[in-house]
Amino acid sequence: MPLTPIAEKIERGLTKVPFDESLKLDCGEDGVIVLQDGVLSREDAETDCTISMSRSNLEKLMKGDLNPMAAFMMGKIKVSGEVAIAMRLGQLLKG
């Protein structure tokens, strides 16, 4: 349940902003949100980009209470794989 409201908001964003890459939001024990070819899933899968952070930091990021660049520099967010895909996440969250 912890990631369900977040997943629902991202899924609403997918209806407004096309997202054809593959991206995983990995919140450790709280679970994952995987976006692949415009579809959201809660099942873990290999993706071109993985963003690892706590559920709390993901919530702050989505509310605008956490600056993504500052969080990355402070190690609150870790990105592996294609960083350009991670940069597109902001567009999706605003959608």
Does residue 46 have a pLDDT over 90?
yes
Q: What is the pLDDT of residue 75?
A: 96
Instruction: Sort 69 into a burial class: Cβ within 10 Å, 0-12 / 13-18 / 19+.
Output: exposed
61: buried, middle or exposed (CB in 10 Å: 19+, 13-18, 0-12)?
buried
What is the pTM for the complete model shown? 0.91
Predicted pLDDT of residue 95: 55
4-13, 17-26, 47-56, 84-93: range with lowest mean pLDDT: 84-93
**Is the pLDDT confidence value at 42 over 60?**
yes
